Structure 1
Amino acid sequence: MRLISEPTAAAIAYGLDKISDPNHPQQKNVFVFDLGGGTFDVSLLTISRDGTISVKAVGGDTHLGGEDFDKAMVDYCVQEFKKKQKKDISKSARAMGRLKVACEKAKRDLSSTAETSIDIDCLCDGVDFSMKVTRAKFEDLNAPFFTKCIEHVENCLRDGNMHKNNVDDIVLVGGSTRIPKVQQMLGEFFDWKPLCKSINADEAVAYGAAVLAANLSGNGNKAVKDLILLDVTPLSLGIRTGGVYMSVIIPRNTPIPTMKEDIFETMYDNLVSASVRVYQGECGETKDNIFLDEFTLHGIPPGPKGKEKTKVCFSIDANGILDVSAELVSTGNKRSMVIAGSQNVSKDDIEKMLKKVELC
C-alpha cells in the first residue's frame, strides 16, 4: 500500500498513544533511535496533537547492528584461541558457527551482568574453548561502532535543523538498544534526558506499519483515522553519469511528495541512445550505492558531444513510489518507468541470510 522507513514506523507506534492522550502538548519533537540486528536507523519527527506526524530527517547505516558486535567478539575469540592453541579456526564453518552463537549469547548476558564466560566443548580438533569476557572488554571491542552511532545522531539533527535541547523524547527501538553502553552514550549526548522505553523495542516497527495500513484502508479507531504522515525520502536518488558517478536528483530528507528534474548533455560524439540507470545512496560512485532499475532512451540525433540535452525528471508520490522519465529536449522523444522498491538484494545481504540458515 505504501513504502515507509523503519524509524518512521516506530515513531507512529510511539506517537499513536501520545496523539490520543488529552494531556499531550500541542506538538512534540521526537528522536527515534533504532538499532537492530543488522541495520541502524535514526529519525527526527514532530508529533502534533491533531494527529500529524511530520518527519524532519532520517539517517543511519544499513550495515551496522548487533551482527557487527557479534563479529567483533568472534574475531577476538579466534585470536585468543590461536594464541593459546596455535590453531586457526576461521576456516572451519562449523566452529565459527558455534562460536558466533556463543558470542551472541555472551553479548546478551553482558547487558545485565558485568562479566560472563564463553564455554564451547570440542570447538576444533577436540580442543575445548573457555574464556571470560567482561562488559568493559565488549565495549572496547565495539567502541568504533558505538561512536559511529552517535555520529549518525548528530548528522540527523543537523539535517533536521534542530538542536538536541529541542528534542522532547528519545525513543529506543531494536534489540541492540538494550546494550548499556548504547544507552549511556545516548544519555550523555542528550544531557541525560530520560530515554523512552515504553514501546516494545522488537515489535514497534511492525506495529507502526500496521497502524499506517489501518489508516490508509480507513479502519481503526479515531486516533488511527486522524493520523497524517508527512514523510521524507530516506536516501538520495539519482542516475549514473560518466560511467561511474552518482548525479543526485532528489537529495535525502526531501519531503514527499516531490518532483525534481535536471538537464544532462551527451558525453560522447554520435550517441544514438542513452541508458538511464537509477540508484539510491550517498556515495559519489554508483558502485557503492544501490541499483534500482534502468531503461534506454533511443532516437538521439547523432552529433558532437554536448549538443543534445536530455531532461531527466524524478517524481515521488505520497506513497513513496518513484516515477522516472527522460525526455530528449530537441525532439521531445520520451521514456519513463515506475519504481516501487529496490529490485536487487546485495551480495552481503544474501551471505547474511545464508549464514542464518546455516546456523538454524
Structure 2
Amino acid sequence: MAAASSQGDGPAVGIDLGTTYSCVAIWRGDRGEVIPNDQGNRLTLSCVAFTCIERFVGDAAVNQAALNPANTIFEDIKLWPFKVVADQKDRPMIVVQYKDEEKKFSAEEISSMVLAKMRETAEAYLGTPVKHAVVTVPVYFNNSQRQATIDAGAITGLNVMRIINEPTAAAIAYGLEKMPVSNKGRTVLIFDLGGGTLDVSLLNIDSGIDIDMSIFEVKAVAGDTHLGGADFDNEMVKYSLREFLRKHERTDIRGNQKALRRLRTACERAKRMLSSTTQTTIEVDSLHDGIDFCTTITRSRFEELSKDLFSKCMKGVEKCLQDAKMDKSNVDDIVLVGGSTRIPKVQNMLQEFFDGKELRRSINPDEAVAYGAAIHAAILNGGNSDGRLVDMLLRDVTPLSLGIESSTGYVETIHGVMSVLIPRNTAIPTRKEKGFTTLYDNQSSVDIKVYEGESAWTKDNNLLGEFRLEGIQVAPRGVPKIKVIFDIDANGIMEVSAEDQTTGQMKKITVTINRGGLNKQEIEHMAQEMKRIAL
C-alpha cells in the first residue's frame, strides 16, 4: 500500500502484539530502534495480572503468576487457570478478582492493557505522546480477530493505522536492512515460529533499486494459530508430570495450578537451554508438599516428545509452496523469525527440506516483526525526511476463502453449500462481486450468510456474519437479480453488500463483518473503565 499522508500528530510506532511476548519499535532519523521497557527488556511478556491491590502487565504480572494463577491472564488456552464465562451477547469474558471485587473483561480489554503498556513504554522512551501505531497479527487471524485488535487499540486511545500480518512485517525489515543487493526481485520465504503461532509467508520483494518504491507482494500464506513455543513447553510439562508421578505414585499435582505454573517455568527454561546444549535438567524446589523435583532431559528426548509438532511446522511450509504453485528450488531466501526458530531441530528440518540452502539469520528473530511494523508506520506517517525509506507498495493476501451460503446460483439454500467469492491467497485490497437469484417463488427478502473456510459445506466453515436484504421484487424463483459484493481493505477488514438489480433501482445493505465486535458505545465504556482501573 502506498504511503499515507502524515498524521501530523506525533510519532507512529510499530507494535508486535504477540501471544507470548510483545515488542514496540520506532523509526526515527535514519534507523529503527526497538524500545526497552521499564525493566530494560526489549520484549515484554503479554501477560496481565490482577491482585487485591493493583493490576500488573508484562514481567511484573508473570513474576507473581505462581502465587496468583487464577487472576493471571496469559496465552496458553490449554493451561488456563482463570475462569471464562459468556456475556449477554455470548462473547467470552474472563473473570478475575480485582481489589476484592469480581470483574469481567473481554479479550479486547485484556489486549488493550498490553497495548497500553507498549504505548507507555514508547512514550517514556521518546518523551512525547504516542497516538498512532501499525499493529501486527498472525496471518490466520480471521476478520473478527483483526477487528478485535483495532477495537483494543481504540479502547486504549491508540489509532491503529494499519493491521499487517506478522511475517509481512518481518519481510519489510529483511527487505530494507538485510536482503542481498540485487537488480531483480527475490523470492523470500518467511518462517515465523513464535510463542503461540506459526506463520509461513512466501513473498516477492523488489527493494526499489530500479524504481522509487519497494514492492512487497505476498504470494501465499499458511500457518497454525495453535502451534508455537508454548506447545513445545506443554510437551516438556507432560513429560515432567509423568516423571513426577513415576517417582511419587500417590502424589498427583495436576490440579495444583501454582505447582504447574512453577513447573512450566522450569520446563521453558530447560527448552531454551537445549538450543545450546545437548542435555539439561528440569528442577523445581518444593514442587508439591515439600517434595523437590529434578529430572534430566536430553535434546534427542525433547525432539522425540515434540515430533508431531515438528511435523506440523513442515506441513505449513509445504502448504504455502503448494498454494503459491512454486517449487522449493525457486525460493531465494529462507528467513527465520520468532524465538522458537532457535530450536536446532527446526533449523535442521528447514535446511534439509530446502536441499541444504543456507538459512538467513541476519535479522533478530524476536524483534524483526516490530521493526518492520515501525518502518511501515513511519512511511504511513510521512516520517521519511532522511530519504532512506522509499515508498512502499504492500500487497498482502487473504488467508482463508470467503463466500456466502448458496446453491447453483441461488442466494439461499437448505443444503449449506459454500459459494466462494474470494479464494484464499487473493491479494488485498480487493473487491469481488457475483450474481445470485431467489430460491423460492414470490420472495420479498433474502438472507445473506457470510463464511470463511475451505470446506465445500458451510457447516464446516466459520460464520462471520449475516444480514437480510429486504424489498426485492416479488417474482417467480430465478427472476430477481441480486448482486453480492465483497470489499476487503488493506487491513483485511471486509464489508459485504447486496443489491437487487431487477428493477434497476439500487437497494443496498452494507454490513461490516465483525461478529462479536464492539460498537462505538461499548468501546467508549471500556475506555472509561480502563482509565478508572489505571488509577
Shorter-chain TM-score: what band? 0.7 to 0.9
Alignment gaps of 5+ in structure 2 = 1-160, 209-213, 407-413, 519-535
Asked whether the 8 Å contact 1:115–1:132 carries over to 2, the reply is yes
Asked whether the 8 Å contact 2:428–2:489 carries over to 1, the reply is yes
> What is the 5 A alignment of 1:65-80?
65-80=228-243
> What is the 5 A alignment of 1:93-242?
93-220=257-384, 221-240=386-405, 242=414
How far did residue 306 of structure 1 move?
6.5
Matched, 1:64 2:227: yes
How far did residue 288 of structure 1 move?
6.0
1:93-150 CA distance string (max 9 Å, x none) = 2222222111111111111111111112232333322211111111111111111111
Please give the root-mean-square deviation of Cα atoms over the aligned residues, in Å.
2.8
Measured in 1, the distance between the counterparts of 2:238 and 2:222 equals 28
Aligned to 1:27: 185
3-state DSSP class of the match of 1:209?
helix
> What is the 5 A alignment of 1:248-263?
248-263=420-435
Measured in 2, the distance between the counterparts of 1:269 and 1:75 equals 60
Measured in 1, the distance between the counterparts of 2:476 and 2:290 equals 71
Matched, 1:47 2:205: yes
Asked whether the 8 Å contact 2:163–2:491 carries over to 1, the reply is yes
Measured in 2, the distance between the counterparts of 1:67 and 1:212 equals 29
Measured in 1, the distance between the counterparts of 2:426 and 2:416 equals 24
Moved more, 133-142 or 256-265: 256-265
After TM superposition, the score normalised by the length of structure 2 is 0.58
Is the alpha carbon distance of 1:307 and 1:144 closer, same or farther for their aligned partners in structure 2, counting shifts above 3 Å? Answer: farther
Measured in 1, the distance between the counterparts of 2:236 and 2:311 equals 17
How far did residue 5 of structure 1 move?
0.9
Asked whether the 8 Å contact 2:176–2:207 carries over to 1, the reply is no
Measured in 2, the distance between the counterparts of 1:342 and 1:3 equals 18
Measured in 1, the distance between the counterparts of 2:358 and 2:430 equals 36
Moved more, 149-158 or 243-252: 243-252
Aligned to 1:89: 253
Is the alpha carbon distance of 1:82 and 1:289 closer, same or farther for their aligned partners in structure 2, counting shifts above 3 Å? Answer: farther
3-state DSSP class of the match of 1:12?
helix
Measured in 2, the distance between the counterparts of 1:85 and 1:135 equals 25
1:295-326 CA distance string (max 9 Å, x none) = 33233567887676643211223453422112
Say which of 496, 510, 516 aligns to 1:336.
510
Is the alpha carbon distance of 1:267 and 1:101 closer, same or farther for their aligned partners in structure 2, counting shifts above 3 Å? Answer: farther
Say which of 484, 487, 495 aligns to 1:312.
484
Matched, 1:14 2:186: no
Is the alpha carbon distance of 1:121 and 1:182 closer, same or farther for their aligned partners in structure 2, counting shifts above 3 Å? Answer: same
Aligned to 2:157: none
Asked whether the 8 Å contact 1:219–1:225 carries over to 2, the reply is no
How far did residue 271 of structure 1 move?
6.0
> What is the 5 A alignment of 1:289-300?
290-299=462-471
3-state DSSP class of the match of 1:64?
coil
Amino acid aligned to 1:337: V
Is the alpha carbon distance of 1:135 and 1:156 closer, same or farther for their aligned partners in structure 2, counting shifts above 3 Å? Answer: same
Which has a greater percent of helix? 1
Amino acid aligned to 2:204: T
Asked whether the 8 Å contact 1:123–1:129 carries over to 2, the reply is yes
Measured in 2, the distance between the counterparts of 1:216 and 1:148 equals 36
Asked whether the 8 Å contact 1:38–1:63 carries over to 2, the reply is yes
Amino acid aligned to 1:25: N
After TM superposition, the score normalised by the length of structure 1 is 0.84
Is the alpha carbon distance of 1:219 and 1:322 closer, same or farther for their aligned partners in structure 2, counting shifts above 3 Å? Answer: same
How far did residue 230 of structure 1 move?
2.2
1:163-187 CA distance string (max 9 Å, x none) = 1111111100001000000000001
Alignment gaps of 5+ in structure 1 = 346-360
Moved more, 29-38 or 96-105: 96-105
Measured in 2, the distance between the counterparts of 1:227 and 1:54 equals 11
Moved more, 308-317 or 49-58: 308-317
